[in-house]
Amino acid sequence: AQKVTQAQTEISVVEKEDVTLDCVYETRDTTYYLFWYKQPPSGELVFLIRRNSFDEQNEISGRYSWNFQKSTSSFNFTITASQVVDSAVYFCALSEASYGGATNKLIFGTGTLLAVQP
> Counting contacts by CB under 8 A, is residue 103 touching another protein?
yes
| Candidate residues 33, 68, 75, 77; the one interacting with another protein per rule CB under 8 A | 33
Distance CA 35, CA 19 (A): 18
Give me the amino acid identity at 85.
Answer: V
| φ, ψ at 85 (rounded to 5°) | -70, -10
Cβ(21)–Cβ(112) under 8 Å? yes
By CB under 8 A, residue 41 contacts another protein: no
To another protein, the closest distance from the beta carbon of 31 in angstroms equals 9
Binding site for another protein (CB under 8 A): 4, 33, 35, 37, 43-45, 47, 50, 52, 91, 93, 95, 98, 100-106, 108-111
